Amino acid sequence: MNTKELTSEDLAIGSLGERRIDSPLDPYFKRCGKEHAFYGDESRILVDHDLDGIRKTLKDGGEPPCFEEAGPRRQIYFDPAETICAVVTCGGLCPGLNDVIRAIVMQACHRYGVPRVLGIPYGFEGLVPEYGHKLINLTPRFVSNIHQFGGTDIGTSRGPQDVPRMVDRLIELKVNILFVIGGDGSQRGGREINDEASRRGYKLSVVGIPKTIDNDMIYMDKSFGYDTACAAAVEAIKAAHTEARSARNGIGMVKLMGRYSGYIACSAAIASGEANCVLIPEVPFVMEGDHGFLEATRQRILDRGHTLIIVAEGSGQDLVGSPDTTDASGNPRLGDVGVFLKDQLRDYFRKCKTDLTLKYIDPSYMIRSVPAAPQDRIYCMRLGQAAVHAAMAGKTGLVVARWHSCYVHLPVALVTSARRMVDPGGDLWLSVLESTGQPPRFV
């Protein structure tokens, strides 16, 4: 969606009602001498920093589109002493899940005085009693050290569940606030829960913390875990490079995450400085011909003796032939482009009577499961704190994110309306081309 087409309705944040309770943070801020620490709903962050567009909008008598700024409100909706929170993690693993859980629990319990935070086990399955999963009592003591470990201590699963049944369970548990940590599908599920609770007149705040290791959700600077994933990917690239340059006619090939967006492949390639070719979903390529991928790779081997290739998992699906099936989350299953390229390279080099030593590395699950790096830990903490502030204020149907270095509230419908992708004409891809020396396209 073009930012200039956004309306105030697109950016509106849902609310459960009037806030009448003084925040328990008020006396704390006063002791700190920080009266300004509270934010009003009128605190806004520009969606687009294009000055020409802003000037034109103002000249035409309109207001430039803005996001509501995240942060503590002076008055809150829920009485902390009577509030029950729940946290659910959905989808695949990502560095920082435990950090977000910990931040939510610490903020809710220590800063707001919420007496109970429930961990919903194994994703949305945990809200369906028939699965038999036991709820987890998330206390500050329980979460005190979980950020030292990867994964999620409350478990996760993929796929939707029956929405009315999940709302039945939340009402039965007297949950007032549900935090959904997950990707676009999970956030859509949270929105459906929010809508169902609203139809029933049940006051439930649903606040999302967006999780996508591919960094492909729109209107956020980056997603948590992305920096850690890139750093872990660089280690795999180093190993592949060592294998390649230590062998005669060596090729090191690393397949990284990126179903639709090649951000990890691009950033890891630039950070390593060792890649000679990067393939991403946004830039199609051909295999055959004098300037195709296969011959370009062979020429690199003949010229330099080795090469390093990074391929995002969603690349070249038009060549691979994807299976006509979906996973538990409803995503189309991808063909294995890494195995495809490996086989094609071996066949081509054999046909050209050129020796080849190829080492193929797929570190995806190792990357997903590592603990968050320090910068991601900071980011996760800030997101968890912002989520609790929003929920206690009675806001709902939103995700918290960082936009232009500020923390904001984004409507779920907006952030799930499109996918963020690498611009083949933009600075990031240009940096990749400059770093690798590869042609803009293999054609």
Whole-angstrom CA distances from 146 to 150, 212, 289, 380 are 8, 20, 52, 13
- Distance CA(154)–CA(366), nearest Å, equals 19
Please name the residue that has the structure tokens 């697109």: 10
The answer on 431 and 391 residing in a single domain is no
Residue from 125, 119, 98, 124 nearest 175 by CA? 119
Number of structural domains the chain divides into:
2
* 442 found inside a domain: no
Please state the separation of Cα 97 from the chain's center in Å: 11
Residues 150 and 68 in one domain: yes
Residue 41 dihedral angles phi and psi, to the nearest 5°: -65, -15
Q: Can you give the pLDDT at residue 191?
A: 98
Catalytic residue of the set 99, 153, 184, 214: 214
- Do 252 and 363 lie in a common domain? yes
Instruction: Establish if 389 belongs to a structural domain.
Output: yes
Q: What average pLDDT does this structure show over 32-50?
A: 83
Same domain, 282 and 364: yes
**Region class of 254: left (phi > 0), else alpha (psi between -120 and 50), else beta:** beta
Across the chain, mean pLDDT equals: 94
| Whole-structure pTM value | 0.94
pLDDT digits (tens, 9 = 90+) for 349-365: 999 999 999 999 999 99
CATH of the domain at 213: 3.40.50.450
pLDDT in tens, 310-356: 999 999 999 998 777 777 767 788 999 999 999 999 999 999 999 99
Q: How far apart are CA 319 and CA 337, in angstroms?
A: 8
Catalytic-residue membership of 99: no
Domain annotation covers residue 443: no
pLDDT above 80: residue 54: no
pLDDT at residue 75 tops 90? yes
Mean pLDDT of 46-53: 74
pLDDT at 2 over 60: no
Specify if 53 maps to a domain: yes
By the 10 Å C-beta count (0-12 exposed, 13-18 middle, 19+ buried), 150 is classed as buried
pLDDT above 80: residue 14:
yes
Residue 252 has pLDDT above 50, yes or no: yes
- Are residue 244 and residue 183 in the same domain, yes or no? no
Same domain, yes or no: 30 and 85: yes
Kindly indicate the confidence band of residue 36, based on its pLDDT and cuts at 50, 70 and 90: low
* pLDDT tens per residue, range 194-249: 999 999 999 999 999 999 999 999 999 999 999 999 999 999 999 999 999 999 99
- 3 state DSSP class of 354: coil
Residue the block writes with tokens 């109970």 = 116
CATH number for the domain including 281? Answer: 3.40.50.460
In which band, very low, low, confident or very high, does the pLDDT at 29 lie, cut at 50, 70 and 90? confident
Give the pLDDT band (50/70/90) at residue 1. Answer: very low
Q: What pLDDT, on the 0 to 100 scale, is given for residue 315?
A: 97
Classify residue 212 as exposed, middle or buried by CB count within 10 Å of its CB (0-12, 13-18, 19+): buried
CB atoms within 10 A of CB 33: 8
- How far apart (Å, rounded) are the C-alpha atoms in residues 163 and 166? 5
Range of the domain at 101: 3-223+372-403
DSSP state of 94: -
Q: How confident is the model at residue 48 (pLDDT cuts 50, 70, 90)?
A: confident
